[in-house]
Amino acid sequence: MARKKSPTLTEVEQQVMEVLWDAGSGTVAEVTEALTRYKKVAFNTVQTVLRILEEKRYVRHRAEGRAFRYTAIVDRDTASTSAVNYLVRRFFDGAPGKLAMNLIENERLSPEELAQLNALIEKAKL
């Protein structure tokens, strides 16, 4: 059975998006080169991932000679918000408070992070 397509970014898709967000745009060869600095990745794999990202409407391309130049059309913040919303719906019954409580109970937060959370809670009460 074929795997269901993820509505949010998979790990590999996010790595490709990180390259595009940092560089502004890139060809398959440029993205492959950037990713290969961290681990070996095949040109064809990057090409396939970029096609999938285009189908998901995260990127678009334009012809540049014989190559395509890809540009992100979804920014980091939008992608991050979408991923968190998906996580909340999938694991926390659509209740963002449950996610927040899970993080506070299960993660070691710095005093600075706790102060920021307290400030956000106070602001939300207004």
How far, in Å, are 6, 40, 51 from residue 87 at the CA level?
12, 29, 24
Structure tokens at 94: 């659509």
Instruction: Tell me which residue of 28, 21, 86 sits closest to 52, measured CA to CA.
Output: 28
Give the pLDDT confidence score for residue 1 in this predicted structure. 62
Instruction: Tell me which residue of 65, 56, 63, 31 sits closest to 45, measured CA to CA.
Output: 31
What predicted TM-score, i.e. pTM, was given to this entire model?
Answer: 0.82
**Per-residue pLDDT for 95 more than 80?**
yes
Q: How confident is the model at residue 67 (pLDDT cuts 50, 70, 90)?
A: very high
Residue-wise pLDDT for 72-92, tens only, equals 999 999 999 999 999 999 999
Give the pLDDT confidence score for residue 77 in this predicted structure. 96
CATH T-level assignment (fold) for domain 11-72: Arc Repressor Mutant, subunit A (1.10.10)
| Whether the Cβ atoms of residue 7 and residue 53 lie closer than 8 Å to each other | no
Residue-wise pLDDT for 15-52, tens only, equals 999 999 999 999 999 999 999 998 999 999 999 999 99
Report, as an integer, the average pLDDT of 89-118. 92
Domain ranges across the chain: 11-72, 76-125
Residues with Cβ within 8 Å of residue 8, at least 6 apart in sequence = 79, 82, 83, 86
Q: How far apart are CA 123 and CA 105, in angstroms?
A: 21
Report, as an integer, the average pLDDT of 55-78. 96
